[in-house]
Structure 1
Amino acid sequence: MEKGSPFQATWSWRPFIACHLLALALLLLWLWAPSRAAMDLFDFSLFQALNAPLASNETWRGIWAVASTRPFDALVGVILLCLLIRGDWVFKAAQARAATFGFIATLILLVVVRVLYAKLARHLDWQHDSISTVAQGAVHLASYFPSWDNSLFEIKDQSARSFPGDHASVLLIWALFLTLFARNALQWLVIWGLALLFMLPRLVAGAHWGQDDYIGGVQMALLALAWSCFTPFAAWASNALVRLSDPLFRLLVKIPLLNKLSVIAA
């Protein structure tokens, strides 16, 4: 581990193997007919509990409609990024820049995993429609806000290919990544509380089944985490990006206010 880096440039075989075994176990559990049937029943019950109140509460419906749009996703991304780069919270101030670049490298790996997984799911016919399209009496948020359709505020409440949950995988990889370095229960509570809260809009609107997230999303996050943080990849990529971007940050550190950010000042 180089100075200022939170990553070890070595293979951590036990957690690396554990992530793969857990991902495989989740897949086998999902493919096994009896457990899959139990998941389907659970997901229908969960969807009913989350979605049904939308029919009778206009304010509640509006909140979740906004939360199911792309601009809200962007806001969530800003919140997660701010927590990631905040010095002396999870990461020491001197490690903020290296940690941020390490997370970016992890996200790149997640994209690779997502593309490969999607191809596999399509080839093996694992894909399915969103639960909102098959559940009886589902409240479709888009039908209440027709003017939002085909606009910046298009509501994400259905898809013909909802498995695996890529939206959840990003939130989960953020939570797992920070959990590796979190030092106390309060940090874990904040991290996982936010991750689960921001996963809810797609579940409330019915864009995803629960299993899209707790099976597919978790699998992808585990694999990306394993190949990033439990191999030399995160350390190598982070150190390389820190060195390449150093001239830029030497300029940014001269800008008032910006130089107060740990990721800049580091």
Structure 2
Amino acid sequence: MNTIRFPLILVLNALGFALFFSWYLPSGHGYWFVIDSNIFHFFNRELVNSHAFLVLVAVTNNRVFDGISLLAMGSLFFFYWRKEQATGRRRMVIMGIVMLFCAIIINQLGHLIPESHVSPTLYFTDIYRVSDLLHFPTKDASKDSFPGDHGLMLLIYTGFMLRYFGKKAFAIAVIIFLIFMMPRMMIGAHWFTDIFVGSLSIALVCLPWVLLTPVSDGLINLLDRYLPQLHKAND
């Protein structure tokens, strides 16, 4: 992509800013807090209504499950990698490096937002915590849950899949995003808006300037030129 798609970038940026300020400006976050509270309490009640749900939520918020999310992302990436010849595979590996680099930078930019709050499990009283109900190592709280770091990383991955592999890869990446973000909300370690306002608005503002401009391709070409070749591609 050699051109800068300014109209689309500006539309996505406008959506991102509108989404964020619709939450940030109203006193007490307006109706967004009602949505957050209702979602949290719905799942929180289910922790004592269903032991199977309690176990599911505990397991899916264990650190091992984070590894499964990486495996899922890697599997989709590998599906396209194995179709390439040596040159294409090298560029895909470099694309992965660029994606990681951009994710780190965008995540740091996201934390410049002057907003921070605790997770709903630390905000509300008289609620259930998985760590109190089940003796199992799991993450059910956060002292700084906004924006959702894990959600932002998954959204950046999703954006790269759309940019470089098309709509089918994007659809699968969206499913991966939803599967691995829902447990954070179900256990109460994140508010709904930590992800679908915080993470999403940051992605809408920052990611288009990487993927809809020559930035990502330029970084890939730069690294392709200067990183050492492990072997020569077949002619």
Query: TM-score by structure 1 length?
Result: 0.76
Choose which of 9, 12, 20 in structure 2 pairs with 1:16.
9
Contact 2:61 2:140 in 1 (8 A): yes
Q: 2:145 aligns with which of 162, 166, 169?
A: 162
Of 105, 112, 117 in structure 2, the residue corresponding to residue 128 of structure 1 is 117
- Identify the match of residue 202 of structure 1 among 162, 165, 184: 184
Q: Which moved more, 1:104-113 or 1:76-85?
A: 104-113
CA distance in 2, matches of 1:103, 1:21: 28
Aligned to 1:256: none
The alpha carbon displacement at 1:141 in A equals: 1.4
Contact 1:29 1:35 in 2 (8 A): no
The superposition leaves residues 113-137 of structure 1 with CA deviations (integer Å, 9 ceiling, x where unpaired) of: 222332332xxxx211101122354
The 1-side partners of 2:3 and 2:95 are apart by 14
Does residue 86 of structure 1 match 2:79?
yes
2:163 partner amino acid: L
With normalisation by structure 2, the TM-score equals 0.85
Amino acid at match of 1:93: E
Deviation at 1:217, TM superposition (A): 0.4
Contact 2:121 2:188 in 1 (8 A): yes
Residue of 18, 22, 26 corresponding to 1:29: 22
Q: Which moved more, 1:55-64 or 1:213-222?
A: 55-64
What is the aligned length? 232
1:171 aligns with 2:154: yes
Return the offset for 1:214.
0.8
Is the CA contact (8 Å cut-off) linking 1:110 and 1:224 kept in structure 2?
no
Look up the match of 2:50: 57
Runs of 5+ consecutive residues of structure 1 not aligned to the other structure = 1-7, 149-154, 254-264
User: 1:219 and 1:96 mapped to 2: Cα distance?
Assistant: 32
Structure 1 residue 119 corresponds to structure 2 residue 112: yes
Q: Does 1:211 align with 2:202?
A: no
Instruction: Report if the CA contact (8 A) 1:113-1:224 is conserved.
Output: yes
The structure-2 alpha-carbon separation of the partners of 1:102 and 1:224, relative to structure 1 and needing over 3 Å to count, comes to farther
Considering only aligned residues, what root-mean-square deviation do their CA atoms show, in Å? 2.7
Structure 2 unaligned residues grouped into runs of 5+? none
Q: Matches of 1:200 and 1:116 in 2, distance apart?
A: 24
Supply the distance in 2 between the matched residues of 1:164 and 1:171 (Cα, whole angstroms): 13
Q: 1:103·1:177 contact (CA, 8 Å) conserved in 2?
A: no
In 2, the alpha carbon distance for the partners of 1:80 and 1:87 equals 12
**Structure 1 partner of 2:214:** 232
Identity %: 24
Q: What letter matches 1:167 in structure 2?
A: H
Using the alignment, how far apart are the partners of 1:70 and 1:79 within structure 2? 15
Q: Distance between the aligned counterparts of 2:166 and 2:101, measured in 1? A: 26
The one of 121, 124, 127 equivalent to 1:138 is: 127
